[in-house]
Amino acid sequence: MALLTYIEAISKGLWEEMERDESVILLGEDIGKFGGAFKVTKGFLDRFGEERVIDTVLAETAILGAATGAAVVGMRPVAEMQFADFVTTGFSQLVNNTASIHYRWHIPCPMVVRLPSGAGIHGGPFHSRNPEAWFFHQPGFKIVAPSFPHDAKGLIKAAVRDNNPVIYLEHKRLYRHVKGEVPDTDYTIEIGKGVVRREGNDLSIITYGATVHQALETADAMAKEGVSVEVVDLLSLMPLDTELILASVRKTGKALIVHEDNLTGGIGGEIAAIISEKAFEHLDAPVRRLGALDIPTPYSPPLEEFFLPNAKKLTAAARELAAY
């Protein structure tokens, strides 16, 4: 076991996969000598060489197109977007080409797209997006969103080994603020399975990524008021662990769905629909959603905090739902 930060766990998982499999290559802007914008790939160039750690031009369309081409001829590319926001310039490659290759050609497309996502770092509207809902709507992708270092390592290794294109959401605010015990052994975490982070009986908070930590804060606060909150960490957004979601809601009777993405059109709406369709008779209150405001991410720290979901907002929503 080693005590690692979230970002160290991602780096270690990538390093181990490159050691294990020579077909794994990395592509991205400044990932070589510079070590990446957030230093995830620091030292990789010296160990694996420029044929496997490829500094690209500043063109996300080229990065994703090259990764897709490499994947269909037997490589396992991991493409890094410096910020998740920049994936929009390569959207056509991913949605029109990458996602549909298996359906059209009946061949695997084993590639990973690493997306440093999320706000809370005062990055403003061009460096703070949570783009998961765009890809959630497109058949052909798997999508994961780890919240702790243990899962960050296990999921990046599982993503590299998967024969489908995997969108790997890594929240920037967690990079150096979250630490945890990570096994030194080789392990993966199954894509499509979530976990219950905290058992509870009165209310379910269903979430993923950075908001898992806020949900756990809320559970602690609500426990002092005599309310038992269950926290469900999805880990995988596509496929969703619907059985875990439904089992939790059927037990507690109340559901609060939380994500940092803008509320309207977010993944929370789909989860709410699943609960309404398959667990309606178990509900003791309307399904509640909490997300970011439907505006671009503000640069100003006070405005950014007002824009985002946080533990205070979660606790207020949980309190109202518990009292319904």
**Tens digit of each residue's pLDDT (9 = 90 or more) over 180-219:** 999 999 999 999 999 999 999 999 999 999 999 999 999 9
Q: Which of 182, 215, 250 is the last residue of a domain?
A: 182
Number of domains present in the structure of the chain: 2
Within a domain: 137: yes
Torsion of CA 164, 170, 175, 177, to 10 degrees: -120
The reported pLDDT for the residue numbered 35 is: 95
Contacts of 249 by beta carbon, 8 Å cutoff, 6+ apart: 204, 206, 255, 275, 279, 282, 283
Within a domain: 189: no
Q: pTM of the predicted model, to two decimals?
A: 0.97
The reported pLDDT for the residue numbered 300 is: 96
Within a domain: 187: no
The reported pLDDT for the residue numbered 180 is: 96
CB 76 within 8 A of CB 69: no
Same domain, 239 and 171: no
Structural domain harbouring 94: 2-182
pLDDT digits (tens, 9 = 90+) for 77-104: 999 999 999 999 999 999 999 999 999 9
The reported pLDDT for the residue numbered 141 is: 98
Q: In whole angstroms, what is the distance from residue 226 CA to residue 223 CA?
A: 5
Low-confidence ranges of the chain (pLDDT < 50): none
CATH number at residue 270: 3.40.50.920
CB 229 within 8 A of CB 318: yes
Same domain, 18 and 151: yes
The reported pLDDT for the residue numbered 279 is: 98
The reported pLDDT for the residue numbered 16 is: 98
Which residue is catalytic, options 102, 127, 150, 177?
127
Within a domain: 188: no
Q: In whole angstroms, what is the distance from residue 206 CA to residue 244 CA?
A: 10
Same domain, 63 and 26: yes
Q: Which of 182, 209, 234 is the last residue of a domain?
A: 182
Q: Any catalytic annotation for residue 282?
A: no
Within a domain: 190: no
Same domain, 31 and 172: yes
pLDDT digits (tens, 9 = 90+) for 123-142: 999 999 999 999 999 999 99
The reported pLDDT for the residue numbered 282 is: 98
CATH number at residue 38: 3.40.50.970
Same domain, 142 and 24: yes
Same domain, 302 and 222: yes
Q: Which of 131, 151, 182 is the last residue of a domain?
A: 182
